[in-house]
Structure 1
Amino acid sequence: MNSLRQLISQTAIYGLSSIVGRFLNYLLVPLYTYTFSAGEYGVVSEFYAYAGFFAVLLIFGLETGYFRFRQKPEYATEAVYSSGLSFLMLINLLFVAAIFYWQQPLAAALHYPDHPEYLLWFACILALDAMTALPFARLRAENQAWRFAGIRLTEIFITIALNLFFLLLCPKLMALYPDSIIADIYDPNLGVGYIFLSNLAASVCKLLLLLPQFRAVSLELNLTILGPMWRYSLPMVIIGFAGMTNEMLDRAILKVMLPYDLPTNMKMLGIYGACYKLSILMSLFVQAFRYAGEPFFFSYAGRADAKRAYALVMQYFVIAGVFIFLLVMLYIDLFKYFIGEEFRAGLSVVPILLLANLCLGIYVNLSVWYKLSDRTGLGAWVSLAGAAITVVLNIYWIPLWGYVGSAWATLACYGFMVVLSWLLGQRYYPVSYPLGKIFAYIGLGLALYFGNQYLLQNYQWNVWLSGTLGLLLYMLAVAVFDLRPLLRRTSR
């Protein structure tokens, strides 16, 4: 129980950097959607979709490999870290050099011939993020959650400050003082490029804050260690790439799959990308849990009650995830103001995407079976099967239903992966998950959501009264059936 409490506390700390911190970053969405048109914002959605794929490729799954191999007695922890970090630095420097050399033809191929700098900036952002992945993993492994959170928050605050400076302050100063120094540092024609520049500057500052983690080791490629670690980690690249296909493919291909002209397709992409942000609370919760959960799963694996703990973690994860679903959907009339009016045409995808991200979080919990049984190759096949579903359904459903088809494809993919991962887990690393309670809480959440919709549409209930009542009913059910029994057990 003490270890479970540690997992909860560290999830809360990581949540400070990922949920709370990125929620602050999420508050930039109104700035973007009220400043730029849907077509312009579509450029941002497209580039960050591409970035997701390359982020996976450039880390090579070595985060998970580091957690696994630092636990093996035959390998020195420092040597594992040093070899992995040296490899990432070498590969990412070569990646930036390649993009620098071919940036103009690549920009032309993506229909951005006037802005090849976008590609170079993104290459630098991706390389910096990949090179700092292992130092962050080391902080997590050594339970330095507060330092992890502090650096992440600093990066986010710098991003926010620079976005506000370039997109809000500079245009006003230019209008008031057209001959001032601002004219030398601000170019209105760069537009959404300032979003990318702000991200790049914040990534540089993050690297500087992590320099002690670079100087603390002697950088060297130990192939005796790197070889086995790379072979273990490579399936994680496939898993991660397949995961990015599930998460990002829709925004990467909507521009070419929607049956309209290019400007209209970019507008639809911008609407979908903005509405996707309204499901960000769930995805940030999943991310925070992943940060704390992965080292917890590995460190707890050898204990007699490990499987019982994993089942309990799953139960409370679902409880929290359904709460987030209800919080967003019961108060959607408030959350919708985070995006500009032009973007609200896509609000129908929000509940679908929230449920999809909840399924993703359940899958993250279930993935313990292939990580602890060293069957990462089999886990890769699960992710590839999900990616295949994503590709096929997007190809069929986007021309029929537009971006709504993409949302349903995401939910179908993650739902399939949950079922398949559970079936394989019961064979290779069986855990007695409380399926009855899991389905009951998900069912209760859906019933409260649809009940709220029925009251609003047929009886014109006050939206705040109806939403608050639904949320209180859910919290009451959790208190009666889970919190009260848990408090009784801990008090004994």
Structure 2
Amino acid sequence: MGVLKTLFKQTFIYGLATVLPRMLSFILVPLYTTKGVLSSVAEYGEVSVIFSYFVLFNVLLAYGMETAFFRFFNKEEDKNLVIGTSAISLIVSSFGFFVLALLFQNQIAEFIDIDVKYINLVIWILLLDALAIIPFAWLRATQRPMRYAIVKIFNVVIYIGLNLFFLLVLKNLDLKGSILESIYRPNFEISYIFIANLIASALTLLFVFPFYVQAKYIFNKTLWKSMMRYAIPVLIAGVAFSINETFDRILLKELLPANIAETAIGMYSACYKIALFMTLFATAYRLGIEPFFFSHATSKNPQKNYAIILEFFVAFGSVILLTVVVFADVIKLYIVRSEAYWEAMWVVPIILIANFCLGIYHNLSVWYKITDKTKFGAYISIVGAVITLTINILFIKEFSYKASAIATLAAYSIMMLLSFYFGRKYYPIPYNIKKIGMYMLLSIGFSIISFYEFRAYYPVGVSLLIVFLTIVFISEKNQIKKLLIKQHAD
């Protein structure tokens, strides 16, 4: 249990670095969905489409090097060689992209039908974020979660603060004759959102820049080739994941009639945010377990710990799923402020369950990362992407964003099952399938009953939640006692 104690400590801190900033970012969803801030639901849809491209290009610019860095940092004796090789690789590729993107920004804007003034800002943000990848990976690999958390939280506080200033404060100030008069533009809200992002990314890179000062710039071609062989399947998996995660907004824009597309995207994207609770939990857990998986791969019987880790994840995730579903109509009042967006609330349980499956998939993915079979991660993610694209393309015109939600659930659930199937063959882990299956089936079943049959009827919803919490407590009390006893002994 000692290694689990370390895991939970690191997960808590990484969770703080991920969950707290994202919780703070909830301020922005009510801000964007409040009448008078953005001109319409369609304008929020436009912002959502741009951020969808952000996800895709962030993956392309990282090209799996972050995960490769973890693997080789723990594997190679010469840590400085790994640091130098990966840093030089990211620097060269990032600036290469930057130059090409600036040269062809007009053509890019025309091709994806987005105003070039937004494209220009996005290019700068992508460069700054790409240069911060290895410094952040180094902080995680060297187990410095507090510094990681502080910088991440600082980034989001600056971003949120600037959003509030640009979108709420600036236009209500008497700017005549002041220095701020030159920066205010009416109907400039979308640009302000990305200017805030640009400033936050620049300051974040400044804070992690000492990494580049201290790094020893030694490039080893043989090591780089080995890292790239490991990273390319991760890149392919990442591209496929970005398709699963955000490409539905792009397809909605392309396949729905122009007069309703961005409004549908705006509603869907806003209600999608309510499922962020599950995403936050899964992300924090993943950030904690990824270094743990690699650092304990050669320890005695690591499979036993991996099995317990998944069991805890499913138990906690099931509780989060059911809690958010039961209180979804309360939560929406604080996150999605305008009734103009609420038509898409139907997707909330579907997206929550989908992200629950994705979190399980990330836990199961330990087998192909530890055994260096990352190509399986690529294969599985490609299958997910094909499912996402197929369902969206076939059914968006008839079912709009409901098809997108179902596609997300179908993709992530099948990815989860495929990873489990191949994991049993190549790296067997003694998962408690009966208990995990019970948690999943009960929480999903109770969620469907609560939302689609007794929505906002809290006597039923709360009763189902209490029953489920009781079952989890009875099932896990012995594990919890062992963990607490071990913690007290340590």
Coarse TM-score class (shorter-chain normalised): over 0.9
1:267 deviation in Å?
Answer: 0.7
Write out per-residue CA displacement over residues 172-200 of structure 1, whole angstroms, 9 at most, x where no aligned residue: 11xx4445433211112322111111111
Q: 2:484 & 2:195 partners in 1: Cα distance?
A: 50
Match of 1:53 among 56, 66, 78: 56
Amino acid at match of 2:146: W
Other-structure match for 1:88: 90
Task: Please name the residue that 1:219 is paired with.
Answer: 217
- Kindly indicate whether residue 338 of structure 2 is the aligned counterpart of residue 336 of structure 1: no
Counterparts of 1:313-332 in structure 2 under 5 Å? Answer: 313-332=309-328
Q: Shift in Å at residue 298 of structure 1?
A: 0.6
Deviations 1:187-232 (A, max 9, x none): 1232211111111110001101101211111224321221111111
Q: Match for residue 109 of structure 1?
A: 111
Task: State the TM-score, normalizing by the size of structure 1.
Answer: 0.94
Distance 1:452 1:379, change over 3 A: closer
CA contact (8 A) 1:96 1:120 kept: no
1:405-435 per-position Cα deviation (integer Å, ceiling 9, x unaligned) = 0000010011111111111111110112111
Q: Which residue of 1 aligns with 2:477?
A: 483
Contact kept, 8 Å, 1:386 with 1:414, in 2: the verdict is yes
CA positional deviation for 1:377: 1.4
Mapping of residues 5-404 of structure 1, within 5 Å: 5-34=5-34, 35-36=37-38, 37-73=40-76, 75-112=77-114, 115-173=115-173, 176-258=174-256, 260=257, 262-337=258-333, 338-339=335-336, 340-404=338-402
Q: Which runs of 5 or more residues in structure 2 are unaligned? A: none
Q: Distance in 1 between matches of 2:196 and 2:29?
A: 14
Measured at CA, do residues 267 and 366 of structure 1 come closer, stay the same or move farther in structure 2, by a change above 3 Å?
Answer: same
Greater displacement, 326-335 / 448-457:
448-457
Q: Which amino acid counterpart does residue 271 of structure 1 have in structure 2?
A: M
Letter in 1 for 2:471: A
Identity %: 37
The alignment partner of 2:429 has SS state of coil
Q: What is the identity, as a one-letter code, of the residue corresponding to 2:151? A: I
| Contact persistence 1:370–1:378 (CA under 8 A) | yes
Could you tell me how far apart the structure 2 residues matched to 1:450 and 1:44 are? 31
- Check the 8 A contact 2:73/2:141 in 1, yes or no: no
Q: Give the aligned residue type for 1:222.
A: N
Q: TM-score, with normalisation over the residues of structure 2? A: 0.94
For residues 280-337 of structure 1, give each alpha carbon's deviation from its aligned partner in whole angstroms, at most 9, with x where no partner exists.
1111211111111110001111122210111110011011111111221111121112
State the shift of 1:344 in Å: 0.7
- Rate the CA distance shift 1:446–1:224 in 2: closer, same or farther, 3 A: closer
Structure 1 vs Structure 2 CA RMSD: 1.7
Contact 1:99 1:119 survives alignment (8 Å)? no
**1-structure distance, mates of 2:354, 2:466:** 24
1:35-71 CA-partner distances (Å, limit 9, x unpaired): 2211101111101101111111101101111111122
Kept after mapping to 1: 8 A contact 2:325/2:450: no
1:368-400 CA distance string (max 9 Å, x none): 111111111122111111111111111112112
Match of 1:430, SS state, is coil
Q: Letter of the aligned partner of 1:371 in structure 2?
A: K
Name the residue aligned to 1:422: 420
Task: Tell me if structure 1 keeps the 8 A contact 2:84–2:219.
Answer: yes
SS at match of 1:327: helix
How far apart are the structure 2 equivalents of 1:485 and 1:280?
28
For 1:236 and 1:367, locate their aligned partners in 2 and report how far apart those are by CA, in whole Å.
11
CA change 1:393–1:475 in 2 (3 A) is: same
Deviation at 1:164, TM superposition (A): 0.3
Q: Which piece of structure 1 moves more, 479-488 or 226-235?
A: 479-488
Task: Check 1:26–1:134 CA distance in 2 against 1; reply closer, same or farther (3 A cut).
Answer: same
Change (3 A) 1:76 1:32: same
Would the aligned equivalents of 2:272 and 2:348 in 1 still touch at CA under 8 Å? yes
